[in-house]
Structure 1
């Protein structure tokens, strides 16, 4: 169900970006067509004004018929029906094009009645440093005697430059689409590797549990046999097999649980629970396993209640205390301090352990993370589980080094919960 939902979201996102990109390209094309029409209109207006001024010099009126004809996208002819000076024509062209803000290079040619051919006039560049000798052919037109032709060789570049914003936006959308596709590809690959890793862990741990169960069954049967009971050394070895087997079994269960949590989130069954009795029960169980430890509870209230899952909160407390015991080089001494602060119930687990460097302390709740100088056996899953339970309950947890020795792990629980 979740996979189908993820695939649907990916597909919808992909379609949305493609749709936006297509719309952007269509808008850009339409904007180009509009700019092309505007350019053509400006050219017509400017050329008509040039024709008027050429007529004014002869004291004749401009014919009613439009003298300007557009032959192609960048080529125009203007019928004057009267002789004119090419130098004056160029002056008028420059003046009118500048007046109407038509800022692009142009070239012109004039029809010569004597030779009956188009005589190339000049290439007019906006950049004084640019000189271009053109060999462009200006075709001759029938039924026209006194006329000139105008060509805009850089019209396409001029139109593209006026649409820079549109093209930059389209390019940005294309880049976003490529990043999205690459991100989705990476996500799918990571998901695939994650599933392979989880399947491998599940298969590996299950394969371990089968022979381990046989070893524990055989060891428990063996330790009850009379020859083993009578031989202190053999009994000690057998007991060591059982203890280490149970410890290995606990590690395997942790790995299986983490794989299960990654596949489906933890489900919390919240209820109102008293904190102090749970702490006392956990401490009693831990003291049975670890002789000689000192665990003290300090509370500013005799009755502290929170709304939480009993099972997971008990495991959370157990993992924090067990972690403090494991990472202690001397006799473990742990203080569990309970107080109320700014609408929060604060639980502090203060130990006298080996401590953690400031560079590594922020990573201790990461999955599989173990301190570089750590020589204690484990998989780095205990504190990861603690962090996960806190996140699901919307609690805050952090670890800080004590001024002298050990660390303090603090959990802030909203009092309203």
Structure 2
């Protein structure tokens, strides 16, 4: 179900980005068409004014017929149908193009009816730096007698350069699309690896539990036999097997719990849980499990109950207490308090240990992350206890925060007021 949801989101995201790119290309095409029409109109009006001035100089009547013919995007033929001079034509072309603010290079040629040839005029550069002339680019028109041709060699390039902002946006969108596709590919690949990892952990732990259970049953039975109980050496070895098997079983259970939280297999069974009784039970079990001496100062009233899954709530607090004991210094003191705020209760657990380096604090809830310590090799664990704690808090819709206090570590669990009661 979750994979299908991801696939749907990926497809929707991809369609959204493709849709934006299509819209951008449409806008780019519209902008190109608008820019092209604007330049063409400027050329037409400027050439029309040139013709009118030539007729005005010759004191002739301007014909009604259209005298400007567009041969291609950058090539025009102007039928003057009257005599005109080369120098005057060039002057009028420069003047009229300046009026309409047409900053384009152009070159022109005039048809000589005496020689039946196109006589090249000049190349006029907008920046004053003429480029290579193209005298062979002008062709004759058999139907006209008095006319000139004008060519704009850099017109097409100017269209693209004037739309550079649109091109930049389009390139950025294509770049975003490439990054998105690559990220999705990595996401799906990582998800596949994660699922394989979960399957491997589940299969591995389940495969371990069966022979481990057999070892524990056989070891406990053997430990009750007269031959072994009377032999101190054998009894000691059997007890080592039982103790180590129990430790291994606890590690396997912990890994299974984290695997279940990741695969959303945990179904919380909420009920009223007495907080003080749970803490007292944790203290007893910690004393049985650890030989280290520690004191617990619990200021929570006995009539406080919390709506939670009793099994996972116990495990959550047990992990926090056990960390305080395992990583604490001499004379370990754990303080438990409950503070009421406006919208929630804060369950605060503090210790007098060495705390956690600031550089490690952002990562302590990550799976398999262990804080670098000199005694890491001596302390057992996989670095999944706090990951489990955070996941259980999230499933209960609680918030957890860990910070270094004045002395030791302070863990705060924010519990909504509706989940905590006084009886």
> Which bracket does the TM-score occupy, shorter chain normalised?
over 0.9
Report the CA distance shift for 1:202/1:100 in structure 2 as closer, same or farther (over 3 A). Answer: same
Partner of 2:399: 396
Give deviations 1:92-121, integer Å, cap 9, x for gaps. 111111211222111111111221110111
Instruction: Provide the residue aligned with 2:165 in structure 1.
Output: 165
Compare 297-306 and 255-264 and name the one that shifted more. Answer: 297-306
Report the TM-score when normalising by structure 1.
0.93
| Map of 1:273 onto structure 2 | 273
Unaligned 5+ residue runs, structure 2?
A: none
SS at match of 1:388: helix
- Three-state SS of the structure 1 residue aligned to 2:372 is coil
Picking from 348, 367, 387, the partner of 2:390 is 387
Cα distance in 2 for partners of 1:29, 1:136 equals 32
TM-score, normalised to structure 2, is 0.92
Matched residues in 2 for 1:228 and 1:69: separation?
A: 115
> 2: distance between equivalents of 1:410 and 1:12?
39
CA distance in 2, matches of 1:247, 1:88: 104
Aligned to 2:177: 177
Unpaired segments of 5 or more residues in structure 1? none
Cα 1:339–1:5 change in 2 (3 A) is closer
CA distance in 2, matches of 1:217, 1:227: 17
> 292-301 vs 147-156, which deviates more?
292-301
Secondary structure of the structure 1 residue equivalent to 2:141? coil
State which drifts further: 165-174 or 300-309. 300-309
Stretch deviating more after TM superposition (5-14 or 298-307):
298-307
Residue 238 of structure 1: how far off its partner (Å): 0.8
8 A Cα contact 1:283 1:295, kept in partner: no
Matched residues in 1 for 2:119 and 2:95: separation?
Answer: 22
Per-residue CA shift, 1:179-217, capped at 9, x if unaligned? 110110110111111122222222322332233222212
Q: Distance in 1 between matches of 2:136 and 2:396?
A: 79
Counterpart contact for 1:300–1:339, Cα < 8 Å: no
Instruction: State the alpha-carbon separation in 1 of the partners of residues 229 and 388 from structure 2.
Output: 40
Contact 2:297 2:333 in 1 (8 A): no
Deviation at 1:276, TM superposition (A): 2.0
CA contact (8 A) 1:362 1:399 kept: no
Q: SS in structure 1 opposite 2:135?
A: coil
Out of 364, 377, 382, the residue aligned to residue 380 of structure 2 is 377
Relative to structure 1, the CA distance from residue 369 to residue 25 in structure 2 (aligned partners, 3 Å threshold; closer, same or farther) is same
Structural mapping, 1:147-158, within 5 Å: 147-158=147-158
3-state SS, counterpart of residue 169 of structure 1: helix
Q: Structure 1: how far apart are the matches of 2:358 and 2:29?
A: 58
Deviation at residue 51 of structure 1 after TM alignment: 0.4
C-alpha distance in structure 2 between counterparts of 1:216 and 1:407, whole Å: 37
- Contact 2:257–2:388, Cα closer than 8 Å, also in 1: no
Distance 2:163 2:358 in 1: 54
Residue 308 of structure 1 corresponds to: 308
Q: Do 1:212 and 1:249's aligned partners in 2 also have CA atoms closer than 8 Å?
A: yes
